[in-house]
Amino acid sequence: MIIQIKRFNIKKNYDYGPNFTEEKNDTFVSYPINDFDLGEYIVGPEKNNINTKYDLYGIIQHFGSLKEGKYSAICKKDNNWTTYNDSILSHCENPITKNAYILFYKRKDFEEKNDNFNFNRYNENENNEISSNNNDTIQNEASKNINCSKINIINNLDQKFNYEKIINNLKNDINIKDKKIKELENEIKLKDEELNFIKTLNNKLTKEKEQMNNNLIDLELKNVELNKIINENNNKLRYNENDFIDLKEISNGEFATVYSAYSIKDKINICLKKIDH
């Protein structure tokens, strides 16, 4: 009889999309070594005709997690327990262990009536009826084990398919996110270029504004100088009424006697400036 302890749990997790989480159950399980009676669990017409007690003869241990772990075995030989850890063999005082994963039991009458039992042959001296019953029992157990193995293989294949599907979905999600990241990087690059252009344009406008202010200051200074020159010229053009020459007097020929201090040319220029003013 083979008993498998359910050490591993696989749960669906929808927090970050459909995926699975794996957990190992390290709960200590106590199990009998000798006289493991399963009579209350056996049904059928031969229930009262067979021995329902079993003795432990082998244990498979598992250490670590579901993803990373190690197996070892404890077997009974010549009434002694031995631990098989790869190529290392050591004596085992107690086969009860918290790392037990699979337990192997022999039915007591099977062991008593088949002391020289070999899985490749049967003792021809045994009673045909007992041998037939034992053969049927072995075949039934083997059939059950094969069915269990098939179920386990199917379940493992389903889990593998689910894992592959999950991995593909995760890869697709990663590719989509990578594309979005690249698009965002391109947008950021364009924004940076626009920002640099705006900064350059702002610097250019600032320099032009400073130049215009400088030009305005220069114009104001030139305007002040021009006003100053105009005022000076206006002051130069001012003269007394006695300096005014009547054209009639000049035309009458009386200029020489009345204004002897000036030449005729000078008096005419003064009159022309007065008229322009």
Q: Provide the pLDDT for residue 33.
A: 92
Q: Provide the pLDDT for residue 119.
A: 41
Q: Provide the pLDDT for residue 144.
A: 62
Confidence (pTM):
0.40
Where in the chain are the domains?
Answer: 2-113, 241-276
Query: Measured on CA atoms in the order 222, 227, 230, 232, is the torsion positive or negative?
Result: negative
Instruction: Say if CB 117 and CB 45 are below 8 A apart.
Output: no
Identify the CATH assignment for 2-113 out of 3.40.50.970, 3.90.70.10, 3.20.20.150, 3.40.50.620. Answer: 3.90.70.10
Q: Provide the pLDDT for residue 239.
A: 47
Full 3-state SS string of the chain: CEEECCCEEEEEECECECEEEEEECCCCCCCCCCCEECHHHCCCCCHHHCCCEEEEEEEEEEEECCCCEEEEEEEEECCEEEEEECCEEEEECCCCCCCEEEEEEEEHHHHHHCCCCECCECCCCCCHHHHHHHHHHHHHHHHHHHHHHHHHHHHHHHHHHHHHHHHHHHHHHHHHHHHHHHHHHHHHHHHHHHHHHHHHHHHHHHHHHHHHHHHHHHHHHHHHHHHHHHHHHHHHHCCCHHHCCCHHHHHHCCHHHHCCCCCHHHHHHHHHHHHHC
| 77-144-130 Cα angle (round to 5) | 65
Amino acid letter for position 273: K
> How high is the mean pLDDT in each 10-residue block of the chain (277 residues)?
88 64 86 89 78 92 86 92 92 92 89 47 47 60 64 71 81 89 91 91 91 89 86 65 49 45 59 61
Q: Provide the pLDDT for residue 123.
A: 43
